[in-house]
Amino acid sequence: MVDERITERDDGVTTERVVEHSESEPHTTVVERRGGGAGWIIAVILVIAVIAGIYLFSEFNQTEAVEADAVSEAASQVGDAAQQAGDAADRAADSLTPEE
């Protein structure tokens, strides 16, 4: 006589079905497990998050480079303005000093 026992469990994420056949020696047990698609969904979300993080990081670095260039340009313009002010002061001093 063939004796077959089937056990099924479902926890909402994974479905497990166990079929045991005990007709004679050797006993046969078949285990079937089926999972939901949550693993793939999480993997896709993680990949998207990593790509977004890389994009934002690169944009942040480019913004810092633009800011550094702007500060360098401003410092150069301040230096040029200081040179012009010094030249003007020299000319003003020369015009006040009597020539001999």
Name the burial class of residue 39, with classes exposed (0-12), middle (13-18) and buried (19+) by CB atoms within 10 angstroms of its CB.
exposed
Single-letter code of the amino acid located at 98:
P
pTM: 0.40
What is the side-by-side strand order in the sheet with 28-35?
Answer: 4-10, 14-21, 28-35
**Residue spans per domain, the chain:** 4-36, 37-100
H/E element, 20:
strand 14-21
Q: What is the pLDDT of residues 23-75, one digit of tens each?
A: 666 766 677 777 767 778 888 999 999 999 999 888 888 888 888 888 888 89
50 against 4, higher pLDDT: 50
